[in-house]
Chain A
Amino acid sequence: MRYIPSCPEERRRLLRAVGLERSEQLFDSIPAEFRLKRPLNLPDPMAEADLVAHLRDLSRKNLDPHGSAVFLGAGAYRHFIPAVVDHLISRSEFYSSYTPYQPEFSQGTLQAIFEFQTMICQLTSMDVSNASLYDGASALGEGILLACRARRRKKIVAADSIHPEYLKVASTLTSHLGIRIETVPSDAGGAADSGRIARSLDAETAALVIQQPNFLGRLEEVEAMAEAAHRAGALLIVVINEAVSLGLLKGPGSQGADVVLGEAQSFGVPLSYGGPYLGFMAVNSACLRELPGRLVGQARDSMGRTGYVLTLATREQHIRREKATSNICTNEGLCMLAASIFLATLGKQGMRELAEQNRNRAEYARSKLERIPGCRIPLAGPTFNEFVLELPAAAKPVHQTLLREGIVAGLPLSDYFPDRKKDLLLAFTEVNGRSEIDRLTRSLEAAL
C-alpha cells in the first residue's frame, strides 16, 4: 500500500523483533468468533490516477458550477476566495497538525486562533470569541444551552425568520433537556414582530433569538429587540448566516446583543455541498465562563517571551467530563484558518467594499426583477444581499425550467414553508455580475 512506508521485508523484521511469526498473531487478543473470516466486500484498491479519474467523473455528475449562474444563498454563500487562502491553508504545518495541546509546538495554530478571535470580536463588536464551532446551526444549539445555563431558565423565544435548519438542529440538541423553543411569527414585512415578541417574553425566558439579516433577507431592528429581551431579564442572541454583511452592518454587540453566533462560511470557505463550514460564537464578558468550545489566550514563558495557549480549559469536557459546558472536542481549525487569511487579505477597506458590492448587486437585481410583469417584492423593507421575490405562478416549476438553462434561481421557499408556493429566495454576491443578473431577469420573464 503506497501510504505505508514499511515494506513486507521490514515488517517481517519487526514481527521477529516482537517475537511473532505471523501477522495474524497480532490479533490474538480478539476472540476468534469476532475475527473476520473473509476480506471486506469493497472495490479493489485504486491507483492514484484511476482514483482521480473516478472522482472527476463523479464531480461531473453535479451541476457544472462554471457553466451556471447560481443565485442561491439561504445559509451558504458563494463568494470569491483569493488564491492566497488555499495556498496557505495547504501548508502541512497547518493541516497535518493536531489540536494545539502542546503549545511550544503549536504556536502557529494558536496565534492564528488568537487573531481569529480578535477579528470576530471586531466584526461583531463583542468582547470574547471562541476558536470556532462546527457550523452555524449547532452554534445556535450551543448558544441556547449557554443562555439557559447563564439565566437558569428554560424557555427560548425565537423569531420564525431564523434559518429553519438552525431551529431544527437547535431543537435536536435541546428538546430532551426540558428546553422549550417558542417561535413567534414575523410581521407582514417579514421582520421580527416586536409586539408579539414582547408578549412572549416573560420571567421564564432565557433568551430572545433573532437573525440579522433574517432568513428572508430582511434587516432586523436589533436595538429594539435587545431592549425587549433585557426588560424580561433575557439575553439577546443574534444569529448571522451571511457573515459578509458584517462589513457594512453594525456589529450586533454595539446594539445590545449578549451573544452573536452563526456561520462564517462566507469568509473563504468553499460551499462543498454543505460542509465543512465554520460556526462561531462571540459573547460579552459576562458570559465568558459559560462559553463553549476552545479559547486561546496570551501567555509568557520563563524568559518573558509572548506566546499563546489554550486557556480556561476548566470549562471543557476533557477536564470537567459530564460537568462541562459542552461536549465539543474539535473546532473547525482549518476553516477558521481560512477565514483568518480571508479576513486579513480583504482587510478593513476590502470588507466594506465587498459588503457594499453584494448589496449593490442585490439592489440592482431587485430593481430589475420587480419590473417583470406579475412579479413583486412581497416583503417591503431593507435587505442586504438576499430577498424574496414573489412570482405570479408556482415557483418550483419555473425554478426547474431555469435550471435546464443553467440558471439556479435561488431557493423555492416552499421547500421550507409549504404556504410560500410562489416565493423564491434569491441571493446576490460579488460573483454574480451584471450580465448574469440580466440573464436571470430575461429567462425568468420568458418562463412566466
Chain B
Amino acid sequence: MSVDRIPPKPREGLLFDQSVPGKRGSEVPAADIPDAPPLDRRFTRREIDGFPELSEREVARHFTRISRLNYGNDQGFYPLGSCTMKYNPKVNEKVARLDGFAEIHPLLPTEAVQGSLQVMAELERFLCEIAGMDAFTLQPAAGAQGELTGIRMVRAHHESRGHPRQVVLIPDSAHGTNPASAHLCGYRVEEIASDARGCVDLAALRARMSDDVAVLMLTNPNTLGVFETDIGEICRVLHEGGGLVYLDGANLNAFVGVARPGDMGADVMHVNLHKTFSTPHGGGGPGSGPVGVKEPLTRFLPMPRVVRADKGYRLSSEFPDSIGKVHSFHGNFGMLIRAYAYILANGAAGLREIAETAVLNANYIRKRLEGTYHLPYASPTLHEVIFSDRNLEKYGVRTLDVAKRLMDYGFHPPTIYFPLVVKGALMIEPTESEGIEEMDAFIDAMIRIAREAEEDPEVLHAAPHTTPVGRLDEAAAARRPVLRWTPELSPKPGP
C-alpha cells in the first residue's frame, strides 16, 4: 500500500485559536425590563479569560469538522466487545425530543407529569418481565452506578439481618467496575478463578463460601461470551451460605427473550439501557443502568418510586428501609423513553430475534476466523467471541497492531486486552445490527491482516496510516499532562 502518497489530512484547530474578540454566536432575548442595579463588585467577575468568541457559522463548522474525525456506529462496523454497539433507532431520538417530554421539569407536581410517570411505570414492568425480577429502580445513570446501587441494597439486606458481612466475590474475568463498585460500598474484594471452560470454578467457589461473603457479582454470559452453565448451582451455593447473587446484565443482549436472570436465581441485577436497549453511547454517555431486585430486597430500592394512585400515578417516598437516592430527581429519564420506545418497537418476538441474530453473528465470525486467530476458550459462544494474538506472536505482531491496522480497513477495532484472563485478547461483539456483507468484509480484513503479519509486520507496527493522527504517545501525555488550552499552546502567528 502506497501510504506515503496520501497527504496528511488537514487538522481542525481548537475553538480558542479561532476566537476573535467581538464575535458572537448568539443573542439574548430582547430586553423588555429595566436593568437592575449592578450586583456588588465583590461577587462579580470581570470577564471570562480566554473564553471563545465565534459566530454561529464558525461553531457549526468547527463541530462538524471535528465530528468527521470520529468513527460512529452509523459509519460502519463497530464490534466492540462487551459494549453492544447496536444500531440506535432514529425514532428514539425523535420521541425523546418531543416537547412534552424534553421540556418537563423534574419537580413539577405529579398531576403535571402523568405521561412521564406512565413511561417509567410501564418501562419498569417491561424490565421486570424481561429480566424475571420483581421490581426495578430506574434511577442509576449508568451500569457502574447500577452496580453501586445494587451492592448498597445487598449491604442494607445483610445489615437488616444483623451484619453487612465483609467480602464480595468476583470472577477474574469481570469488568473493572465490579471490584470498584464493591469497594465503594465498603467491601473487600476477593477474586474467584475461572476454570478451563472460562466459567466460575465451582469447586473453588464452594470451598470459599462462608458467612463472611455478602454477594457474588457474576456477569452472565461472562466477558468471554460464555454462558455460566453452573448458574443454578452457583446460586444455590451462595444462598445456602446466606449470601446473595448480583448479576451484571451488561451482556443481556445474548439471551434477551430467551432466558431470564431472575429464573436462574439472581437476587439483584442491573441492565444497561445503552447496550441491550439501544440508547446511544454518545461518545461515552449518558447511559442508564436500572437495577432489578427480587421481592425480599424491594424495600431497599432508591426513592422516590413510581406507584399507582387512584387516578394515574404518583411518586412515593414512603419506604423507610430505602437506601435513599443515587441520582438527583428520577435518573436519566431521556434514556428511559428511548429504551421504552425500543421495547415497544420490538415486542417479545423482536427481542428474541435480537438475541438469536446477535448470537448467530458471533458464531459466524468465530467459525470463519478460528484457526487464523487463536481461540483461547473452546466453550460455546453466545453474543461475543474472544480471540488472542498467540498465532501472530512469532511475527512480533501484537493485538494492538491488529486493532490499529483494522482502522486502515475502515473498521472500528474490537475491545482489546480485555478480559484480563486472556493474554492479548481481541473481543468481538457483532450484535444483531450487522448483515452478512459487513461481517464478511470485516472477516476478510482480519484474515488479510494476519497475512500482513507474516509478510510485512512493519506495516502493522506503524498502523494506522489513514487516520487523522497516528498512534499518539500516551506515556508522554501522562508524564507531562496538558489538560486544558492556555494561550501558550496556540500556534504562533506567521510573519
Q: Is B231 part of the binding interface, using a Cβ–Cβ cutoff of 8 Å?
A: yes
Q: Which of A249, A298, A314, A437 has the most CB of B within 10 A?
A: A298
Task: Give chain A nearest CB distance to B210 CB in angstroms.
Answer: 20
Tell me whether A106 and B176 are in contact (CB under 8 A): no
- Report how far A163 CA is from B329 CA in the complex, Å: 11
- Report how far A346 CA is from B56 CA in the complex, Å: 9
Tell me whether B35 and A360 are in contact (CB under 8 A): yes
Task: Give chain B nearest CB distance to A49 CB in angstroms.
Answer: 9
| Count of chain A residues near B, Cβ 8 A | 203
Partner of B469, one of A64, A107, A137, A296: A107
Q: Is B409 part of the binding interface, using a Cβ–Cβ cutoff of 8 Å?
A: no
Tell me whether B180 and A326 are in contact (CB under 8 A): yes
- What does the 1/0 interface line of B86-107 toward A look like (CB < 8 Å)? 1111010111111111111111
Q: Is B212 part of the binding interface, using a Cβ–Cβ cutoff of 8 Å?
A: no
Q: Is A82 part of the binding interface, using a Cβ–Cβ cutoff of 8 Å?
A: yes
Tell me whether A176 and B152 are in contact (CB under 8 A): yes
Q: Which residue of A lies closest to B418 (CB)?
A: A318
Tell me whether A6 and B435 are in contact (CB under 8 A): yes
- A86-B97, A408-B108 in contact; A329/B143 too (CB < 8 A)? yes
Q: Which residues of A contact B391 (CB under 8 A)?
A: none
Q: Which residue of A lies closest to B184 (CB)?
A: A327
- A104-B404, A104-B407 in contact; A327/B48 too (CB < 8 A)? no
Partner of A248, one of B45, B97, B337, B471: B45
Dominant SS among interface residues on chain B: loop
- Report how far A26 CA is from B88 CA in the complex, Å: 25
Tell me whether B43 and A4 are in contact (CB under 8 A): no
Q: Which residue of A lies closest to B18 (CB)?
A: A344
Tell me whether B85 and A98 are in contact (CB under 8 A): yes
- A42-B348, A70-B105 in contact; A80/B29 too (CB < 8 A)? yes
- What does the 1/0 interface line of A238-260 toward B look like (CB < 8 Å)? 00000000111111001000000
Q: Which of B11, B227, B257, B478 has the most CB of A within 10 A?
A: B478
Docked complex: A35-93 residues within 8 A CB-CB of B: 35-36, 39-46, 48, 51-52, 54-56, 58-66, 70, 72, 74-76, 78, 80, 82, 84, 86-88, 90-93
Q: Which residue of A lies closest to B412 (CB)?
A: A105
Q: Which residue of B lies closest to A140 (CB)?
A: B328
Q: Which residues of A contact B396 (CB under 8 A)?
A: none
Q: Which residues of B contact A332 (CB under 8 A)?
A: 141, 282, 285-286
- What does the 1/0 interface line of A78-122 toward B look like (CB < 8 Å)? 101010101110111111111110111111110110110111011
Tell me whether B96 and A350 are in contact (CB under 8 A): no
Docked complex: B42-97 residues within 8 A CB-CB of A: 43-45, 47-54, 56, 59-60, 62-64, 66-75, 78, 80, 83, 85-89, 91, 93-97
- A118-B485, A348-B47 in contact; A91/B67 too (CB < 8 A)? yes
Q: Which residues of B contact A30 (CB under 8 A)?
A: 227, 229, 255, 258-259
Task: Give chain B nearest CB distance to A297 CB in angstroms.
Answer: 5
- What does the 1/0 interface line of B351-377 toward A look like (CB < 8 Å)? 111111101110110111000000000
Q: Which residue of B lies closest to A291 (CB)?
A: B483
Q: Which residues of B contact A40 (CB under 8 A)?
A: 129-130, 257, 348, 351-352
Task: Give chain B nearest CB distance to A5 CB in angstroms.
Answer: 4
Tell me whether B483 and A4 are in contact (CB under 8 A): no
- Report how far A245 CA is from B309 CA in the complex, Å: 39
Q: Is A398 part of the binding interface, using a Cβ–Cβ cutoff of 8 Å?
A: no
Task: Give chain B nearest CB distance to A423 CB in angstroms.
Answer: 14
Q: Is B24 part of the binding interface, using a Cβ–Cβ cutoff of 8 Å?
A: yes
Q: Which residue of B lies closest to A329 (CB)?
A: B144
Docked complex: A338-356 residues within 8 A CB-CB of B: 340-341, 343-354, 356
Tell me whether A329 and B115 are in contact (CB under 8 A): no
Tell me whether A27 and B177 are in contact (CB under 8 A): no
Tell me whether B379 and A29 are in contact (CB under 8 A): yes
Given A97-B71, A177-B184, output 13 extra A-B contacts at Cβ < 8 Å: A17-B368, A23-B356, A41-B348, A43-B347, A75-B328, A99-B285, A121-B484, A135-B141, A169-B325, A274-B329, A298-B477, A318-B418, A345-B56
Q: Can you list 29 A-B contacts with CB-CB less than 8 angstroms, sorted by A residue number?
A: A3-B278, A3-B345, A17-B364, A29-B227, A36-B257, A36-B259, A42-B347, A59-B100, A61-B114, A62-B101, A62-B114, A88-B59, A92-B73, A100-B284, A105-B70, A118-B14, A118-B16, A169-B325, A177-B184, A270-B103, A274-B333, A276-B335, A298-B489, A301-B469, A309-B474, A317-B144, A327-B148, A382-B40, A408-B112
6 nearest A-B residue pairs (beta carbon): A59-B100, A274-B329, A274-B106, A334-B282, A276-B286, A61-B115
